């Protein structure tokens, strides 16, 4: 079997993986980057709106403290506050670093990096490249990898001496030596041949879980692999009940349902209307945000040109609020003909300006729906977009609870609490990708001996099993049933009976998936690949459903019809998922969330905190203020 030895193996070549790998290589570590898609095709490429960083280029009042506050508010105070602090403080440096490595962001008139408005951000904060920011981010990070390889070619005569990419290669198991990580096992998608990586440190950067839902903005790679790999290796997942349904996905035609319509459309002036032509978001501003959002259309419109004297329009509320509002309008029979609502930018900006600011959106609607967004409104509705939950990590290093395992980016949990603000993912990837690369390198430096991987035969037997069965279950049917179940029963609005029903279906699907059979050979066989991915999607879906059933309140990306309010007691609790190495026995435990450090909590007004915290926590606040 093909075998390779590295110091650090990074699984995933999106923003988080590339930034982690660059850091590990810069620390002198022999680093592998493994990705199941083509190199350059990760979700990060699809990111449209931008990267949030409080640079203060457009509004000088912006700074890390305002960004920190916005992030905590967006996450409804369930965020890992240390992560939110590091993120707000370090994001500007990471964006600058990208420019040093060759990225070209859009500029303000005076030549600074331009920053645009986005939901939940008090000031214009998203550094962007039109609506193709993720593409520029990945292009720049890849260019940096190539530059490091050129340096290695000059110094060692081999461009891949210290950093090598293994593309179209899927990891199916992490390997261990006792309690420590010792490597990874996977297969080449093209040939089906197996491959073993021998490495004392593994960084997971595999992105999200959207393919467990039928309507999603996510593409085929998002099958929760990293989440499942971590669980199977003994690590824990937190916040899995929190799934972000982006308010604006395409709803028509059916073949493209779920594809994202960037929030920049609203950030740049687009408005949401129902079938009666009403800007309905004014009816949906929750109490906790009432003083921060405009109450009339006139004030909301003035805000685009005078932010000092007006409040934001409610179309720019955090995503969970907007998604729920759209859902309610459609349910009340005020939706658009194809089951969404109208998003109109055509009556708000000149056609040339729309094409300049939103080129991808213009192209996407023209090509896919035959709609010219400079002339008519789009029809949009909620789509499964992002998972706030993920691997529980130490904020400063990205270390998971299993020695040698690290995680960064969408696969990690904590940073965004119960709801992520738009733009906070690209900055998260850069900040915590770098930190995970540093953390993994320091861990390797501290090891007395290299661990020796065990469990290769078992991993091989597990991977090959679907090809050895005949007449078993069709993996596509199992997958489709899972997607429908999660969409319908653990979707945007949840209730106890439906979640319990979903858990029963997942249990049955788990049994069926043990018997999936894939016809054909190991050579580029998507049915076989899906049969392997099913284990991960089922495991992660079970975590989502179990945590969703336990959390008896509504907060961020978790809305319970039967528990509509937010409860201060629940804010103190994290739900922590574990599983056995054979994917059985998923358990969810409550854990008390550590209290926020005094100098951070006092960045907020007491009146605001009263909406979120318990009396005990408020007493701590009073003590910190004194
Ligand atoms: P990804 O970029 O998804 O990379 C995951 C990598 O892991 C891929 O290389 C994949 O091949 C690999 N992988 C997965 N499983 C395996 C396995 N088993 N073995 C080997 N490799 C594996 N966020 C913002 O902040 N701003 C935006 O404007 C924005 N726009 C978005 C638009 C869209 C359409 C979408 C879908 C998301 C958007 N987001 C945005 C969210 C953001 O893009 C993602 O959260 C982020 O890119 C995730 O990055 P990542 O590095 O964690 O993972």
pLDDT in tens, 474-505: 999 999 999 999 999 999 999 999 999 999 99
Tokens for 285, please give them: 């501003």
For the Cβ of 234 lying below 6 angstroms from any atom of ligand 1, the answer is no
Q: Which of 105, 207, 382, 406 to mutate to test the pocket of ligand 1 (most atoms within 8 A of CB)?
A: 207
Q: What is the dihedral of CA 471, 475, 476, 482, to 10 degrees?
A: 130
Question: Could you give the percent of the chain with pLDDT greater than 90?
Answer: 90
Q: Name the percent of the chain in helix, strand, coil, to the closest 5.
A: 40, 20, 40
Task: Tell me the pLDDT tens digit for each residue of 210-243.
Answer: 999 999 999 999 999 999 999 999 999 999 999 9
Q: Comparing 289 with 93, which gets the higher pLDDT?
A: 93
Specify the residue with its C-alpha closest to ligand 1, atom 14: 206
Q: What is the ipTM of this complex?
A: 0.99
Q: Return the pLDDT at 112.
A: 96
How far apart (Å, rounded) are the C-alpha atoms in residues 170 and 525? 13
Bridge partner residues of 380 (DSSP): 250, 341
Q: Return the pLDDT at 264.
A: 87
When pLDDT is averaged across residues 559-571 and rounded to a whole number, the result is: 94
Task: Tell me the pLDDT tens digit for each residue of 171-215.
Answer: 999 999 999 999 999 999 999 999 999 999 999 999 999 999 999
For the Cβ of 210 lying below 6 angstroms from any atom of ligand 1, the answer is no
Q: Which of 213, 425, 530 to mutate to test the pocket of ligand 1 (most atoms within 8 A of CB)?
A: 425
Q: Strands across the sheet with 2-5, in order? A: 2-5, 194-198, 180-188, 169-177
Q: Return the pLDDT at 626.
A: 82
Which atom of ligand 1 lies closest to the CA of 50? 28
621 CA → ligand 1 middle, Å: 37
When pLDDT is averaged across residues 413-441 and rounded to a whole number, the result is: 97
70 CA → ligand 1 middle, Å: 23
Task: Tell me the pLDDT tens digit for each residue of 107-145.
Answer: 999 999 999 998 899 999 999 998 889 999 999 999 999
529 CA → ligand 1 middle, Å: 19
Catalytic residue of the set 116, 125, 144, 319: 319
The least confident of 62-66, 95-99, 197-201, 307-311 is 307-311
Q: Which of 10, 11, 14 to mutate to test the pocket of ligand 1 (most atoms within 8 A of CB)?
A: 14
Element (H, E) at 326: helix 319-331
For the Cβ of 217 lying below 6 angstroms from any atom of ligand 1, the answer is yes
Q: Return the pLDDT at 278.
A: 96
For the Cβ of 13 lying below 6 angstroms from any atom of ligand 1, the answer is yes
The least confident of 25-29, 208-212, 238-242, 330-334 is 330-334
20 CA → ligand 1 middle, Å: 14
319 labelled catalytic: yes
How far apart (Å, rounded) are the C-alpha atoms in residues 556 and 572? 15
CB-based contact 576:236 (threshold 8 Å): yes
409 CA → ligand 1 middle, Å: 8
How far apart (Å, rounded) are the C-alpha atoms in residues 499 and 337? 30
**Residue 256 in this model has a pLDDT that exceeds 90:** no
């Amino acid at each position: 079997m093909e075998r390779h030895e590295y110091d650090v193996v990074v699984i995933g070549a999106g923003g988080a993986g590339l930034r982690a790998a660059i850091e590990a290589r810069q620390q002198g570590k022999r680093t592998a980057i493994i990705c199941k898609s083509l190199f350059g095709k990760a979700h990060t490429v699809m990111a449209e709106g931008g990267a949030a960083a409080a640079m203060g280029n457009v509004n000088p009042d912006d700074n890390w403290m305002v960004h920190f506050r916005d992030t905590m508010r967006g996450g409804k105070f369930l965020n890992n506050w240390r992560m939110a602090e590091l993120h707000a403080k370090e994001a500007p440096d990471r964006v600058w670093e990208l420019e040093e490595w060759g990225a070209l962001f859009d500029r303000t008139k005076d030549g600074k990096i331009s920053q645009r408005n986005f939901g939940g951000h008090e000031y214009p904060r998203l550094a962007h490249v039109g609506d193709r920011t993720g593409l520029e981010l990945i292009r720049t990070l890849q260019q940096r990898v190539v530059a490091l390889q050129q340096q290695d070619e000059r110094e060692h005569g081999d461009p891949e001496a210290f950093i090598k990419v293994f593309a179209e290669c899927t990891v199916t198991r992490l390997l261990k030596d006792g309690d420590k990580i010792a490597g990874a096992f996977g297969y080449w998608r093209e040939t089906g041949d197996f491959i073993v990586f021998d490495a004392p440190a593994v960084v997971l950067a595999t992105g999200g879980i959207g393919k467990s839902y039928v309507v999603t903005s996510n593409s085929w790679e998002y099958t929760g692999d990293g989440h499942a790999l971590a669980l199977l290796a003994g690590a824990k997942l937190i916040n899995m009940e929190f799934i972000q349904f982006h308010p604006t996905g395409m709803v028509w035609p059916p073949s493209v349902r779920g594809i994202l319509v960037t929030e920049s459309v609203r950030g740049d002036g687009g408005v949401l209307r129902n079938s009666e032509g009403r800007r309905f978001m004014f009816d949906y501003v929750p109490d906790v945000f009432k003083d921060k959002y405009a109450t009339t259309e006139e004030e909301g419109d003035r805000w685009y040109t005078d932010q000092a004297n007006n409040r934001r329009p409610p179309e720019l509320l955090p995503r969970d609020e907007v998604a729920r509002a759209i859902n309610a309008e459609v349910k009340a029979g005020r939706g658009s003909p194809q089951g969404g609502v109208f998003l109109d930018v055509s009556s708000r900006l000149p056609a040339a300006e729309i094409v300049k600011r939103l080129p991808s959106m213009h192209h996407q609607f023209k090509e896919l729906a035959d709609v010219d967004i400079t002339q008519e409104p789009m029809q949009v509705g909620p789509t499964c977009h992002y998972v706030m939950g993920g691997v529980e990590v130490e904020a400063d290093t990205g270390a998971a609870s299993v020695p040698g395992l690290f995680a960064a980016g969408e696969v990690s949990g904590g940073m965004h609490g119960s709801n992520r603000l738009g733009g906070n993912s690209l900055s998260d990837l850069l900040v915590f990708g770098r930190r995970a690369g540093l953390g993994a390198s320091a861990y390797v430096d501290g090891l007395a001996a290299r661990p020796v991987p065990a469990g290769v035969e078992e991993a091989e037997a597990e991977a090959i099993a679907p090809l050895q069965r005949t007449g078993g279950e069709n993996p596509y049917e199992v997958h489709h049933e899972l997607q429908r179940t999660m969409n319908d029963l653990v979707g945007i609005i949840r209730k106890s009976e439906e979640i319990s029903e979903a858990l029963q279906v997942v249990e049955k699907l788990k049994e069926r998936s043990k018997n999936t059979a894939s016809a054909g050979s190991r050579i580029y066989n998507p049915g076989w690949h899906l049969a392997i991915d099913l284990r991960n999607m089922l495991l992660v879906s079970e975590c989502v459903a179990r945590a969703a059933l336990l959390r008896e309140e509504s907060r961020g990306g978790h809305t319970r019809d039967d528990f509509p309010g937010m409860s201060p007691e629940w804010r103190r609790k994290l739900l922590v998922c574990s599983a056995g190495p054979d994917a059985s026995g998923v358990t969810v435990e409550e854990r008390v969330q550590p209290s926020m450090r005094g100098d951070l909590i006092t960045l907020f007004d007491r009146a605001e905190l009263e909406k979120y915290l318990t009396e005990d926590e408020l007493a701590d606040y009073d003590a910190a203020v004194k």
